[in-house]
Structure 1
């Protein structure tokens, strides 16, 4: 298992010793859960050949991808093509998304914004929960909305509002998105400067925003 081919990190620099320890825990089975991990199209793992699904863009020019890997205490350890020697792609997909589904992520309703904005943040896979239809269906229900705007500008962040909100609230929602996109203070890696359109619990489109 090539160290520099496997670990692309959580945005912080870890020593080779810690990284090797994480890998040994995976080999021993101490760490054994695979998760889907959202990454921007220019993520270093794309060129390194990490296993991925392209969500937005093309295979040649991806804008947003889902990588697959183990969540260790110090790094993400990403799956590479040779990991398919032991598991079928369909098995990896099912395992990863089943594990994501089991992660609890509760919505908070903003009283300040007239109960028209939901947040579900501060947990490692808060952003990835956009890939869970059951999670998004709950947002439809809470907002009583058929169509949603979903903001996941950085890891561990999610904000949602109805597509039918008035212009003033939508402008406020955009300001919150932009602030989070530009806020480096929490060390959460950027994902995508865009709003996702979600219908019936599934991503139907994406509105790119200016950097």
Structure 2
């Protein structure tokens, strides 16, 4: 079972990397309006590094918690900017939580989303409304927890997660940035979608595609 679960997560990180790479110009363009115009490049480099390290693992022996631990280290090594520690902490939190449930069950999937949210919030000290990636991650995590409470099936759970993330990311265009480089712009940050929230949606969409399409084979 752990081999199937490890392969599922390997596939997930590949999907994320491909999706981020395809959107990196759009992400950097969004960042250009309120930041350093390098968010797409940074995220692309980070996930390429993750996948390069994951190819060195033996999927037959690896546990899901190990996959996330490797991802945390690889992302941090590749991305020195603020995004690096945020996602490294997110992956590390997911890794720690998975040690108690390596099954990638629907409950475990919901836990991954919430632990990633917790890691980003722990490291970045942000909250909803700051015009950051948390404006996508917080509603996504809330949707995951609610879906599990209602015992939704995997497809329904991930649809709710992604819908919440997309709505959250879109809402950042009407916010004034309170954190990060964009905060220096004050009112001029209005009217622009936060690039971190936009990339969070891409990540969550790739996670949804993986768990809905491949995840059934990864857990009993």
Taking structure 2 as the reference length, the TM-score comes to 0.29
- Greater C-alpha Rg: 1
Higher relative contact order (CA 8 A, sep 6+): 2
Structure with higher helix content: 2
Structure with higher strand content: 1
Taking structure 1 as the reference length, the TM-score comes to 0.30
